[in-house]
Each structure stands twice: as structure tokens, then as C-alpha cells.
Amino acid sequence: MPTTTETLRDALVAARRGKSLIEMASQPVPASFSEGLGVQAEIAKVLKQPEAGWKVAIAEDGLPVAGIMPGPYLKPGDVYEGAIGAELRVEIEIALRLASDVPFRPNQPYSRAELLGHCDKAYLGIEIVESRLANWTGVPFALWLADALGHGGYLIGPELDIKTLDDPTALGCFISLNGVTIYDKPAVHANGDPMAPFLAWANRKQDFMGGLRAGQIVTTGSLCGGVLSPGKGEIVTKLSPLATVSLTLR
């Protein structure tokens, strides 16, 4: 009989290949967050996904976690094709580009300044969250991890000053769909400092998900939560007063 890992891996691989959805209730839940990361790593291996980027986070028990971001990487004005029936959420973020490798170093923790020293660019990033799980509200976090934290695609917007990460609280987040405002609030990061989840992941104790390599994009987490798009069409996002980008959901 297939194991939990094999059953979930095969279901999510088929869903990603077919741009389809699977019912959450029909899937086994990984026994731990680490097992969920292991499933995600297996899926990436089967799909031959490039380790082009990472979305990082801190789980509710304090464990640093990440989702692989293999692409598509969009440009302003591009079209994102979602699966039929999928919920699409928009997140306004600050992304960093690694200029050099960040070696796995569990016994010598990186400092915030040292980690930033490995980065040469910051960008306005827009993540499209599109889970392979239908009706995923309230999904167990270990299952969410297996699905790469619901990653769908990522838009690389204008370059920002890296110092923007030091205090984003003076910024505002705005999102509209087809000219109708769906979000307009001050920027807030769940961990306070947007670097906190990146630093936690750089100082992780296990490395089975893959390394932090030069050229990869690391997104530091949403400044507006996950904003559900009520439909398809033109999305305009602003990190006020710094930058504006648009894309089309289809």
C-alpha cells in the first residue's frame, strides 16, 4: 500500500501537471511539518522543478519553512493563467535576489546584516497564490507545506532600495480588479521584520529542500496578507509611494 508521502506526492504531481484541483478531504495529511516539506521536495524532484526561488515563512511552532518557486516568473503587464475553478490570491511583497550562495551553516547562525550582504537587489514582488487543493480554507499546515505553500506564480516588479526592508510600516498596499478597489491598507508583515522568515530559513537545521544559491529570488512574505481576487481581469497593485505594477488574471 502506498505511503502517505507517495499518495500525496502523486496526487499533487497529477494536479500540477493537469492544472487541476483535488479535494483536500480526500488526501492524507503529513504527520509533521518536516514530512510536509519532504513531500514538497519529492514533488519538485518528480516535476524537475528548478530551484529558481523560495517563499519563506515561519510555522506556528516556530519552525522555519519554505516553498519552492520554480516560476512562472512574470513581468509587469503579463497574463497569469489559473486553473479552472481555482481561488487566486494576490500578495504584495518585497523580494531579494541572491548575489552569492548562502551555504548551509546550522552551527554558525547568520546575522541579519550578513544575510543581506549576500543580496544585491530588492524588488516589488507580487505572488499569485493558487493551491492545488480545492476549498483550502483551514487546510492543515503540513498539507499546505506539501503544496509549496500554495505557490502559483511570481511577478518581478520594479527595483526597490534594499533599505525598504528596514521599516515598511510607512508604506501602503493597494490592489484593484478591473478598476474596483479590493484592498487599500497600510503595509503589515506578519513577523514584523520582513527579514525574519528569510533569516530563520537561512539558519534552518535541515537542508533536504535545497540550498540558497546565487541568482535565486527569495520573497520575504506578504505585506497585505492573501487578498482573494473576486474574479478575473486586470489587477493593479501598488506599494505606495514606491511602485505600481499590473498584470492580468485569466
Other Cβ atoms less than 10 A from the Cβ of 1: the count is: 4
The angle, 0 to 180 degrees and rounded to 10, between the axes of the packed helices 4-18 and 33-46 is 50
In the numeric block, which cell numbers belong to residue 187?
A: 503595509
In degrees rounded to 5, what are phi and psi of residue 33? -65, -40
> Averaged over 22-29, what is the pLDDT?
86
- The C-alpha atoms of residue 83 and residue 29 are separated, in whole angstroms, by 23
In the numeric block, which cell numbers belong to residue 63?
A: 519552525
Tens of pLDDT, residues 169-198: 999 999 999 999 999 999 999 999 999 999
Average pLDDT, the chain: 94
Single out the residue of 169, 225, 171, 161 nearest to residue 193, CA to CA.
169
Q: Where are the alpha helices (DSSP H) in the chain?
A: 4-18, 33-46, 112-116, 141-146, 195-202
The C-alpha R_g of the chain, in whole angstroms, comes to 17
User: Could you tell me which residues come within 8 angstroms of residue 166 by beta carbon, excluding any fewer than 6 positions away?
Assistant: none
Tens of pLDDT, residues 126-156: 999 999 998 777 889 999 999 999 999 999 9
In the numeric block, which cell numbers belong to residue 79?
A: 497574463
Query: Mind giving me the DSSP string for 203-244?
Result: T-S--TT--B-TT-EEEEEESS--EE-SSSEEEEEEEETTEE
Show the domains of the chain with their CATH numbers: 4-249 (3.90.850.10)
pLDDT score, position 71 = 85
pLDDT score, position 1 = 67
Single out the residue of 152, 131, 139, 127 nearest to residue 21, CA to CA.
131
pLDDT score, position 137 = 78
- Cα-based distances in Å from 34 to 86, 96, 129, 168, 244: 27, 25, 21, 31, 37
Tens of pLDDT, residues 201-216: 999 998 878 899 999 9
> Averaged over 52-68, what is the pLDDT?
94
Please state the pTM of the whole predicted model.
Answer: 0.94
- The C-alpha atoms of residue 35 and residue 32 are separated, in whole angstroms, by 5
> Averaged over 24-39, what is the pLDDT?
90
